[in-house]
Amino acid sequence: MDSNQITRDYFDSLLLETRYMEAVVPSITMELYGERFSSPIMTAALSHLKTLYQMEEEPMVGYARCAARTNSVHWIGMMEEEEVGQVIATGARTIRVVKPFADEDKIMRQLCHAEEKGALAVGMDIDHIFDRHGNPDVVMGEQMEPKSMQQMKAYVQATHLPFVVKGVLSVHDAVRCAEAGARGIVVSHHGGRLQDAVPPLMALPEIRRELGADMPIFVDCGVCSGMDAYKALALGATAVSVGRHLISYLKEGTDRAAERIEEMSRELKGIMASTGVRDVNSFDAAVLHHGGM
């Protein structure tokens, strides 16, 4: 089955009860890695937008301006170092995700470069290690390879910034990321790279229980509304990323994409108010009920 549809169906199967007694106007501000952001709704780690979409502005820069305008955490994926500098120069607080290149020197260069340019955090996208036939993947002409725990620990130690691992979809991997020294993980199936993949929200509660309350856990894949964000946060996410959903708005301009993030944040706040959630640290998974797939 298509993993994206499975993920969408799982989102939609979760229903909410209301809690109005002693409710308050909620706060949706979020603290992450020592900084404060306006909402737990973030951008996602997209790559190479200019090869896919024709826009008036350099799309990766416009994407960053969207995050800067809304004071949202901004994520970026595979791109040239010059582009990384342009993105960070917009003022967007950026998490730079590098690929699991076979070229170890390239990984270290990209991690160091992001730190030098002022990134908020860095990380690695581990679910692009293999192609669909089980061989080391080749992405935009670049060879990937599986990474050992020793290598992951070396990446963590190569930077003073928080290191985040993207592409976690099991307790098995989540625990090993923590053991390697990661200071955050992204629960994701990378837009359905694996058929019949577990929906991120299905895997999330057990991962949260295993890692405890302090580890930042982010969720992407299929988030396209404040309601989706609410459900992920209620199940243990620290914040959520919105990627593909934003692209159609981004093609209308940076301002329109920023407005969409703000719309989703307002929707999130409204749902929090109706379910008794005071702030982003006060979510209760008991408000959710499975209504069937």
Is 190 in the active site?
yes
271 in Cβ contact with 16 (< 8 Å):
yes
Burial pattern 163-177, b for ≥16 Cβ within 10 A else e, equals: bbbbbbbeeebbeeb
Token code pair at residue 210? 């295993």
DSSP 8-state class, residue 96: E
Say how many residues make up the chain. 293
Which of the residues 74, 128, 189, 190 is marked catalytic?
190
Strands 142-143 and 138-139: antiparallel
Token code pair at residue 36? 């404060």
210 in Cβ contact with 44 (< 8 Å):
no
- H helices present in 74-121, as ranges: 81-89, 104-117
Catalytic residue numbers read: 190
